[in-house]
Amino acid sequence: MSTIFTQIVEGEIPARIVYEDETTVAFLDANPLSPGHTLVIPKDEYERLDDVPDDVATDLYATIHRMVPAVEDAVDADATTVAFNNGEAAGQEVPHVHCHIVPRFEDDDAGPIHAMFGQRPELDDDELDELADDIESRA
Ligand code: AMP
């Protein structure tokens, strides 16, 4: 069963497509967080960011880079929050990689992504060093 976003790519269900090229598509989110909320996806179906091949990742970023100013200008936004919910535990509902471009306004009161976390972990220097080494070794 293909994802709802693949159905949009295939033209099986309607969407307000605002940009399309060989490998990526951008369209308005059907349930926008703010006016102009746009999703950018690879046309091929990949569930998570690490499933996306390098060349498609490059294309995906190029489309995000192109669409951020287009969206901001269209709705006269002061800023944008640009984010991926990467995996179910992070709130990803559609298992097809998608980047949210959400226009932001000085008075929208939505806060930064930091506002999602009420509490922060207390990590000492040794723990931070160990984490940095571990991540570096996998990069
Ligand atoms: P996420 O929670 O990151 O998986 O976000 C999925 C997003 O897809 C939500 O913001 C939905 O409003 C949006 N969405 C779901 N179905 C459609 C659709 N048919 N057309 C456009 N956007 C959709």
| Ligand 1 atom with minimal separation from the 29 CA | 22
pLDDT at 11: 97
Give the strand order in the sheet containing 17-20. 17-20, 24-28, 38-42, 99-104, 79-83
Contact 103, 37 (CB under 8 A): yes
pTM over 0.75: yes
Whether 17 is in the pocket of ligand 1, judged by its Cβ within 6 Å, is: no
For the chain, percent of residues with pLDDT exceeding 70: 100
CA nearest 103: which of 30, 35, 17, 26? 35
| Ligand 1 atom with minimal separation from the 15 CA | 20
The per-residue pLDDT for range 59-110, each reduced to its tens digit, is 999 999 999 999 999 999 999 999 999 999 999 999 999 999 999 999 999 9
Active site (annotated) includes residue 98: yes
The C-alpha atoms of residue 61 and residue 42 are separated, in whole angstroms, by 10
Q: Indicate whether 1 pLDDT > 90.
A: no
The C-alpha atoms of residue 76 and residue 79 are separated, in whole angstroms, by 9
The per-residue pLDDT for range 52-61, each reduced to its tens digit, is 999 999 999 9
Nearest CA to ligand 1 atom 17: 30
Whether 82 is in the pocket of ligand 1, judged by its Cβ within 6 Å, is: no
Q: If you measure from the C-alpha of residue 35 to the centroid of ligand 1, how many angstroms do you get, rounded to a whole number?
A: 14
Q: If you measure from the C-alpha of residue 7 to the centroid of ligand 1, how many angstroms do you get, rounded to a whole number?
A: 12
Q: Indicate whether 115 pLDDT > 90.
A: yes
Q: How far is CA 29 from CA 65, 122, 130, in A?
A: 18, 37, 40
Average pLDDT, the chain: 97
Which of the following is catalytic: 65, 98, 100, 114? 98
